[in-house]
Amino acid sequence: MKKWNWWLVVLLAGILVGCGDAEMGEGEGEAAALASTNESVMAMPVTTASDEAQAAFMEGLYAADMGRFLDAREHFEAAVATDPDFALGYLYLANAGNSLQEFTTNLEKAEAAAANASEAERMMIEMNRQGFDNDQEGRLATAQRLAEVVPESPRAWLALSNAQAALNEHAASRQSAAKAIELAPKMAAAHMQLGNSYLFSEPRDLAQAETHMMHAVNLSPEEPNPHDFLGDVYRAQGQLEKARDAYTEASRYSGEDGSPFQQRAHVNSFLGDYEAARADYQKSIDSTRCATWLAIQETTMNA
């Protein structure tokens, strides 16, 4: 017999920077606390019969929100190992996968288990299938229905924002992301999503991008990606010294992930400090997570 739990859910399209994600280490307990704190304001059903699977899922969800996809993958694997009928666990495992085969295999498992899931969860699975099939209009229609079914969930609005962005409806996408922030002002991932929209999509607004990335930094100061994204904004603004400082701050929390060093190396190159740039590129190459990610990609390409 399945039971209902009302937690954070929905796809937040992550941006992989450099070679992957950071090692949590001592911060993992803090991640769990932050995820738990958000549960009351991000209602959407997660259907599982196992408290252990639910806890692993929540750890993975927070890691995915913060762009730490290798960490997220480990937690989602633990969730579905504990509850083999966990449809949403398979869906998120698909999106944290390291290959097309992993994605398709786990998406099919999510679809097979969908009969046990809620209406909102089934919509999320359907959106992934539509996105994979390049049915972006269908994906948008499903996302609109999702926001109608669970209008109190900021994650439903983020899913709609993503679907709108895929069709270059950037004004509407930003309105949907803003609605998510209205529902959950302390959701750093929502600020990062909106900030990246202003940073990369036309019409760009670098001041707005900076504002939202600063919110993300203030909300999750010990996560590397908010600092990294803030560095991207400063670099786009031509404020290279500030960008370098932001990437340096990201490196303080990135653990075994060397991508902040890669980012800082780019800036040092632009600033003409080639010795520092070379040292940072080497740090990035030598990072454990980078080596792991490259090995996975080589295995996938040779399969």
Q: Which two tokens stand for residue 266?
A: 């780019």
DSSP state of 99: S
- Output the pLDDT for position 43: 61
Backbone dihedral region for residue 5 (phi beyond 0: left; psi -120 to 50: alpha; all else: beta)? beta
Half-sphere exposure (Cβ direction) of 19: Cα atoms closer than 13 Å: 27
- 206 in helix, strand or coil? helix
- The pLDDT score that the predictor gives to residue 27 is 42
pLDDT for 250: 97
Residues of the chain with confidence (pLDDT) below 70: 1-43, 288-303
24: part of which helix (H) or strand (E)? none
Contact criterion met (CB below 8 Å) for 236 and 206? yes
For residue 114, the model assigns a pLDDT of 97
Residue for token digits 């504002």? 211
> So what's the pLDDT on residue 3?
34
What local confidence, expressed as pLDDT, does residue 233 receive? 98
pTM beyond 0.95, yes or no: no
